[in-house]
Every structure is written in structure tokens, then in C-alpha cells.
Amino acid sequence: MKVNSEKRKWVAGLLTALLAATALSGCGGGAEETAAVSSDAASSDILRVAMFWVSTNLDPADGYNGWVLSRIGAGETLVRLNENAQPEGCIAESWQQTDENTWVFQIREGVTFSNGKPVDAAACKAAIERAFEENIRAEEYFSPSSIEAEGQTLTIHTSTPNGTLVYNLAEPLFTIVDTEVDEDTMDTAPVTTGPYQVTAFTPEQSVELSRNDQYWDGTPGVSGVSVYSVPDSESRVLAMQAGEADLTTTIDNTSLQLFSDESRYTVYETITPRVNVVYYNNASPLLSDVKMRQAVSYAADKDTYASLIGCAPATGLYSTALVCGQDVEDAYPYDPEAAKQLLDSMGYLDTDGDGIREKDGENIQFQYVIAADHGSSDSALIAQALQADLLEVGLGCNLVQTENMADIRAAGEYDFCSANDSTAPTADPEVFLLQHYYTGGSSNYQHYSNPEVDSLIDTLTATFDPDERQQLARQASEQILADAGSLYVGYIYGNTVVSSRVQGAEQFPIDYYIVTKDITLS
């Protein structure tokens, strides 16, 4: 009996030792393997990008998916917007306006799709016409009466004079894509002209790209790009720190200080046409009165909000990245006394002493809807700070977080809503006015309407002189501010963070370009 139990102990001990040894060796092997994989990834020529958004498909004519295609270095347009937000030739080598409704583009010789097919005027015409068929947004950029293609010459006739056509053709909606592929290919691996071509795509997760050996403008800097979706800003920070990504963008301002070690990271920052804005619902019972909107605008300490979230304080509608946004005087400098006087003059007084003014015997309570744009917490910060400032002047405000902002805006069930919008998606000030402030504009969910602004926008559309256009945009924006149409909080800095392996990255004022041919890895 005793021997038996002794034996058992031995066997058990042996087994344990064996198990431990196997476990340890297993661990060792695993560690070696991981090390091998990560060093492989680090030494290879693949650029890993942590992107804030990867779309559900890659068809450039569908929604804003063209933006994704452009950002990852696959899609290109006739014209692109350079580091000064000025148009320069891309697939089109040159262009000229022959009369007020006619533009002639010279398509560059030697540009081919990644499948080897040459890009001629007919291919460009097909791609642009497809954008008009598939996406209603196209109409907001220009309305072609006809497009003619002859060899390398593309002629666009517009139905009305359009001074911003060249800028607008840089919008990735008009990505030049091979239209002769089937729908499935268009959704998952569209054939484009950019420095990199899509080889694999997982909706909303990742895109794999390889170098386009046919590229017309020199050899692209890396052999491949691996893009994966990381919607949350803090997660992108962690991905960079863990060395899982070589490049990321749109990091919350507070977290940028984590990349101050210049031997490991480089941060590129530039002011963009993007703005942090609080849209007023101009049709809501409380805010339909211009005095009320002005009171709210005076009560907001915009400079403080801007410094909190790390953007440039807004004085007007357009960012200082645009000419029409420069040297604009603040129409509503922080002035709580002025706000109180306005509210008093409207007869909204706090009669029951609870600190909140009443309208028709009921406390004034605004409905303030917030959503996290680009995974950032900025909108929640602005909302809470504004809420506190409004309380100072006797206005109440409920904050509601939502995921489906579009539905709430469409239903008009709000007084204030947060947004992070580009005031010049194509570096030109017109489209933003048209979409957001023209009566019945496609994004005019704030129900702003002023015949004077409408006619200014009409004039702007038909004006070609660049200086005059900026002047007109400025006039329209001043009128909108006089009406206190919206509350502009700050102009947003765009940022790109890269690891020390990456050279040649750049932060463009227009956020269509992230992965470029100039990026190389060491």
C-alpha cells in the first residue's frame, strides 16, 4: 500500500514535470513565433495605417466611399488639391475655360488603370457620368448638360455657369475608375489609377493594397499598404504606441503630447477647412427668434471651448484655411451681459427664482443632441461647457447623446446639434453654403432661410473671378452670422502621426489625401 502511494506520487510528479516542460516549451515557441511575425512586419515594406473610417464598400460613387479610396492612395481624380488647397493637375494635365459654360480638360498621356488599360477622355467621361447616375451629391458640385470625349480631350458643358467646377472635380466622388468592371469588383476592388491598388477588402474593417507598377508619376514608395479601421481615437493612439501602426490621423488634441518623442514619432499638423459647429434648429419654437439665437451666441465662451479641445477659436463661418475666413471680426464675442439684456428685452424672465428663465410660464429647456464625430469627444466637451455657460444667463439645456444623428436631424427633433463639418470640402467656399444655408439645401436640416443669402449664393455660383468669389462667400457668411444662423466654435487642426520608420508623409488641408506615393519606409 505504502509503496503504491509512493509510486503514485512519483508518477504524478513526473507527469507534472512533463506537463510543465511542454507548457514552457510551448510558450517559448509561441514567443519566438510572435517575435518573428512582428519583426517580419516591421522590416517588410508594408505601410500599416490605422484609419478612423473604412466604408462598407469601395465603390467611389456610393456615399462618401470615394473619400476612403482616395485616402488610402487608390483613387485619383482629374484635379487634386495641393498643400495650399489649390487645384493642380492629376489625371488631367491642364484645362481651360473656353466660354462660361464650357471647360476643356487635357487628359495626361501615359496614365493607365492598374489593370493596364489606358485612361483616355472616354474613360474619364464614363466615370464622371457614373457618379452622376449613382449619387445625388454630384448635382451639388456642377450640372453637366453634356460631356464630350475625343482622344485625350474631355469637354464638359455645364447647364449653368459654374465658377468652382475645377475645384469640385477634385472631390473623390469623381474618382476616375474603370467602369467596365462588374458591380462586385467595383464594390470590393475597384480598378483605379492611384499609386496603390486594392487587393483585398473586408467591409468596415480593412483594406489591403499593393503597389501599382503602372503608376504614371514615378514608383510609389512602399510595396504595399495595409489599412485597418480603428474608429476610436484613443485606440488609434494605442495602436501607434504598440507599434501596430506606422501611420494614423485625427488624434484627439490632448493625446498628441504622447507623441512628443521626436526620435520615435513625427506629428504633422495643419489648419483645415473643418469646423466644430453647433447648429441651431432655426425652425424650433425656441430658436426661430433671431434674438434668442443671438443671445445664445453671446453666452458661449467660444475661446475657452476652443482652447479646451485644441482648435483655433472661430470668429466666423469659414476656417482661416480659406481666404474668405481670414481676418473676420467675431460677430459674437463672449458677452453674457449682452445675452442677458437680449433675453430680458424679449420678456423671458426668471419669475420663480429657480435660475432658469421661463417662456409662457415654462422653463426654457433646449434639446442639445451630440454625437461623437470621428471617434472624438470634442462634441461632448463643447456641449457640457456650453450648457454651463447657458445656465449662467438663465437658459436650461438637456444633453442627449445619440448614434443616429441623421434621423434626429431629419425629424427636426432638436434645438442644438453638434457637428464637425468641412466648410470647403473641395477647398472652395460655395458648396458648404449651398448644402447648409441655401433654402432647401441638401444638408440644411437647421432650416436656415434668408432670401438675401440665397441670392448671394446664386451670384457666387455664376462668378468666376477667384477674388470676387471669396468676397461673395464672405458676404454670405457675414449675413448668416448676423442672423446667428449657427454657432461656430473652432477651426480644426488636422493631424497625422507617423512612426520613425515613415518618411515623406504630409498633412494636407483637404482631408482626401493620407497615403501618397511619396511615403517611404526605412
Partner 1 sequence: MTAKGLTGKRLRFILLAVLAGGLVLLAVLGPYIAPQDPLLGDASASLQPPSWEHLCGTDKLGRDVFSRILAGAGSSFSLTFLMVLLAALIGTAVGLMAGCCGGFTDSLLSRVTDVFLAFPSSVFAIAVAGILGAGVLNTVFALGLVWWTRYARLTRAAAMQLRERDFIWQARFGGAGEGRILLRYILPEVVPQVVTTISLDIGNMMMSLAGLSFLGLAAQPPAPEWGYMLYESRTYMQTAPWMMLFPGLALLITVIVFNLLGDSVRDMLDPSCR
Distance of CA 109 to the CA centre of its chain: 32
Which of these ranges, 81-89, 253-261, 325-333, 499-507, lies near partner 1 under the rule CB under 8 A?
253-261
- Smallest gap from Cβ 231 to partner 1, in A, equals 13
Q: Which helix (H) or strand (E) holds 340?
A: helix 336-345
Map the footprint of partner 1 across residues 308-337, applying CB under 8 A.
308
Residue 309 CB, nearest approach to partner 1 (Å): 8
Q: Which stretch binds partner 1 (CB under 8 A): 177-185, 229-237, 434-442, 501-509?
A: 229-237
What dihedral angle (degrees, nearest 10) is formed by the CA atoms of 91, 494, 503, 49?
-80
Distance from the first to the final alpha carbon of the chain: 70
Minimum distance from CB of 320 to partner 1 (Å)? Answer: 22
Where in 367-386 is the site for partner 1 (CB under 8 A)?
370, 377, 380-381, 383-385
Cβ-based nearer residue to partner 1, 59 or 301: 301
401 touches partner 1 by CB under 8 A: yes
Residues 383, 418: contact at Cβ < 8 Å? yes
Q: Does 402 bind partner 1 (CB under 8 A)?
A: yes
**Residue 254 binding partner 1, by CB under 8 A:** yes
Query: Judged by CB under 8 A, which stretch of 61-69, 280-288, 345-353, 400-408 contacts partner 1?
Result: 400-408
Under the criterion CB under 8 A, does residue 266 sit at the interface with partner 1?
Answer: no
Residues 282, 284, 288, 291, Cα dihedral to 10° = -100
* CB crowding 343-381: b at 16 or more within 10 Å, else e: beeeebeeeeeeebbbbeeeebebbbbbbbbbbbebbbb
Minimum gap (Å) between residue 374 Cβ and partner 1: 12
- Which residue in 106, 387, 449, 479 binds partner 1 (CB under 8 A)? 387
**398 belongs to the binding site for partner 1 (CB under 8 A):** yes
Exposed, middle or buried, 424 (CB in 10 Å: 0-12/13-18/19+)?
buried
Candidate list 399, 442, 449, 471; residue touching partner 1; CB under 8 A: 399
The burial class, CB within 10 Å (0-12 / 13-18 / 19+), for 228 is: middle
In angstroms, what CA-CA distances link 491 with 171, 277, 342, 348?
21, 9, 27, 33
Q: Residue 424, by phi and psi: left (phi above 0), alpha (psi -120 to 50) or beta?
A: beta
Tell whether residue 407 is a contact of partner 1 (CB under 8 A). Answer: no
- Residue 255 interacting with partner 1 (CB under 8 A): yes
The residue (of 303 and 506) whose beta carbon lies closer to partner 1 is 303
Size of the site for partner 1 (CB under 8 A): 25
Should residue 267 be labelled a site residue for partner 1 when binding is judged by CB under 8 A?
no
Residue 388 interacting with partner 1 (CB under 8 A):
yes
Please name the helix (run of DSSP H) or strand (run of DSSP E) that holds residue 359, with its range, or none: strand 358-359
User: Quick check: 237 and 231 in contact, CB under 8 A?
Assistant: no
Among 120, 234, 350, 458, binds partner 1 (CB under 8 A): 234
Stretch of residues binding partner 1 (CB under 8 A), selected from 85-93, 230-238, 260-268, 457-465: 230-238
Minimum distance, C-beta of residue 494 to partner 1, in the bound complex (Å)? 18
Q: Is 405 in the site for partner 1 (CB under 8 A)?
A: no
Q: Are 468 and 161 in contact (CB under 8 A)?
A: no
Rounded to a whole number of angstroms, the minimum distance from the CB of residue 259 to partner 1 is: 11
Q: Would you put residue 218 in left (φ > 0), alpha (ψ -120 to 50) or beta?
A: left
In the bound state with partner 1, the residue whose beta carbon lies nearer, of 328 and 386, is: 386
Closer to partner 1 at the Cβ: 257 or 351? 257
**257 is a site residue for partner 1 (CB under 8 A):** yes
Chain centroid to CA 144: how far? 27
Q: How far is the CB of 24 from partner 1 (least distance, A)?
A: 34
Q: Are 210 and 198 in contact (CB under 8 A)?
A: no
Q: Give the ranges where 195-335 is alpha helix by DSSP (H).
A: 233-241, 290-299, 302-309
Residues that bind partner 1 (CB under 8 A): 233-234, 237, 252, 254-255, 257-258, 304, 307-308, 370, 377, 380-381, 383-385, 387-388, 398-402
